[in-house]
Structure 1
Amino acid sequence: MTTVSAYAAPAAKAPLERTTIQRRPVGEFDVLIDIKFAGICHSDIHQAREGWGEAIFPMVPGHEIAGVVTEVGTGVTKYAVGDRVGVGCLVDSCRECENCKVGLEQHCTGGGVGTYNAIGKDGEPTYGGYSEKVVVDENFVVRIPDGLSLDVAAPLLCAGITTYSPLKHWGAGPDKKVAVIGLGGLGHMGVKIAHALGAEVTVLSQSLRKKDDGLKLGADHYHATSDPKTFEELAGTFDLILSTVSAPLDFGAYLSLVKTGGALVNVGAPEEPISLNLFSLIGGNKTLAGSMIGGIAETQEMLDFCAEHGLGAEIELIRADQINEAYERVLASDVRYRFVIDTATI
């Protein structure tokens, strides 16, 4: 076992504090990663504050991990010491169910293991990226291309794949009109990726406060949802709408913006349930769908795509002792557009 420094929430809703945790010895197929940067995802806040239900404490959040390999197990074939790598939301799965066999490990039915707030196959809690090092099975590690710096690559391990996967699945590309609801940590990557895929991109945000940013990131249009005229003018416009916000929305209103046969895909995960009049789906043969991150192979595909198109996250680099402040700023929508922890400060 290796003792490493980390930042952990000792209990639900408690401020995160510096502590030490134990990392398992490097096994035959394991990779030891010296974490360089860790993104702060809104999911970290939901889980550290038990917004999504009972959680495991102490909790070391962080599933947007970028670092360098410093040791490999004797059976490792994919990575070598010195490689630039990342770890996202998963560190293990059953590898035998139907979903795992086709590269959908995020939908594992036999026991997927989250990077943190989960129990590993060894019976011990998993701890995430707000730490100095992590040990991960090579099959759940991805390679960060040389074209991406590690700091802007870290958020791609969640924010990048969370938006890339549904955009690809639902056919975002040339001759398609795509709207992104929310210009935050997820939304700004959704705009960048949809634009790179060739779609005509619109941002739907509460206000026009971030309009200049949205257009610079690749949006063709920007509309305020607080203006009722937006829903009148854009009725039946979009082939695909990607909702990235974690607050409950009036999905009926947003479905009115979808073309006949189009889809509204949700990647945000509000803590509260929503209600929906099903006539907003029936009329127009529309689809309301969800999407959850992506499999390991698709995550690698996303990283390669982002490197090819020069797409990194827009980040604000912080010290570890600023994590609690950063959480409050995320909740206040006061970040453009992803906080990333310099783990050298842990």
Structure 2
Amino acid sequence: MATRVLMLFDLPYAVKPGYDYAEEFANPNGSYTEADVYRALLDSGYEVQRLSLFDDVRPLIEVVREQRPDVIFNLCETFHNITQWDKNVAALIELLGVPCTGAGSGALFLCNDKSLCKKILRFHRVRTPRFHSYYRGQKIRLPKTLKLPCIVKPLTEEASRGISQASVVDDEAALCARVQMIHERMNLDAIAEEYVEGRELYMSIIGDRLLRLLPPRELSFGQMAEDEPRIATYKAKWDEAYRKRWGIRNHFAEDLDPVLAQRLHDTCKRAYRALNLKSYARFDLRVTAAGQVYVIEPNVNPCIARDDELAQSAEKVGIAYASLIRMLVNQALRRSQ
């Protein structure tokens, strides 16, 4: 009997029971990750049912009670369009007692809070930039422990939302203004961390007991002006016209000497273990000219579209996309035993 997989994902609107998702899955700018995973699950011989959530969890509870899937392939990144509520969906799945791919609610909670995550990494002697958190309603100032320039970000957002070239600040007035903007316009807490000059690398890991580190990818900033900070802004990641204009591209990291390559592996493995991750993750890193490796942040449910960083790194070492998806399903089933 084929393994029954419930593929769970989010949409910015509610749909009726029995909805076929044809329009969303056919849109190259729409649910492209979900479409890739769905095809890979079908190609692997699983019995697959799709379910989207928007602002109501009852459809998930009903499907689990009535059909009892063997495993849930969780691709939910938001609930009611709020990114930090992905952990609540994972927590509900845990309460329902169904094996689930990806990070659990604890890991999502921990890694979504950039401040808390960095504190744990620093405790375990994993190098991260020095930082300061700015919570709404508290005084905004530059602490003596923080050196400029800094990059100011939303404390709990993902995918570089809220990050632009203006996020890098050189004086206290600019820092305070940027924090205030995040507080007032985005209605979010903020974090300022010291800007680290260097290469932007992405290292992906798969595993629970045994870890598989995949070849690192790099974001190169092309023809950007020398006085512009090299940071992964929202536009640098997602705006294809902007990327093309400035020659920004993602590619496999080159010219890594063996010592640096080993340092990347050791740093990411220590970070993965320190955060008690047990599925798959991608670490955003900065590497200085002196070879120091800084963990900027972990992505504990990173994009796994066929053309994204993790899947491309897996393919580089001979793990075909369908095999990668099967690995994640088998991993979830194994963890539940």
TM-score surpassing 0.5? no
TM-score range, shorter chain: under 0.3
Question: TM-score by structure 1 length?
Answer: 0.25
Structure having the higher strand fraction is 1
Structure having the higher helix fraction is 2
